[in-house]
Amino acid sequence: VAQGVARVENVYGVAVTAEGNRLARCCLEDAFEPAAAAWRGLGTIPGSGLALRPEYSRFDAALRLGLDLADDGEAPGCRCGDVICGRIAPRDCPRFGVTCTPARPAGPCMVSSEGTCAAYARYGRQ
Ligand code: SF4
């Protein structure tokens, strides 16, 4: 700025290598293995998540508490999957602005302020 030059630089290179934190990655690899994961709006995708390796199953809260963490589905009529995949715009969901608003969200895309539908409700042009 002082030299009147405008550009973008990645300053994280000072502290982080392209390989990341090798010790942390080693610990993660020791404790976890690739596993199917349920993603809101997308369903279950094989190998897209991490699960504790069998030798650490004693720390698996879902196992110990008998929790079912499978895809919890979408609210009826919610089109979040189509919205986040870019197949439709939020306004194309019949619930948008009617039975799903930032104040009373029906689907995950409207829940948090950075959700696609919530952002569209706040900043989108009608
Ligand atoms: S407007 Fe609401 S119900 Fe429709 S896709 Fe977005 S979050 Fe789901």
Digit-by-digit pLDDT tens for the chain (126 residues) are 788 988 888 888 888 888 888 999 999 999 999 999 988 778 889 999 999 999 999 999 989 999 887 666 678 999 999 999 999 999 999 999 999 999 999 999 999 888 999 999 999 865
118 lines ligand 1 (CB under 6 A): no
Nearest atom in ligand 1 to 100's CA: 2
Output the pTM of the full model. 0.67
| Rounded distance from Cα 101 to ligand 1 centre (Å) | 8
Q: Please report where in the chains the tokens 């809260």 appear, as a residue.
A: 61
Half-sphere exposure of 100 (CA within 13 A, CB side): 28
Nearest atom in ligand 1 to 74's CA: 8
CA of 119: how far to CAs of 69, 83, 101, 111, 115, in Å?
Answer: 28, 12, 11, 10, 6
3-state secondary structure of 50: strand
Question: Exposure of 90 by Cβ count < 10 A (0-12 exposed, 13-18 middle, 19+ buried)?
Answer: buried
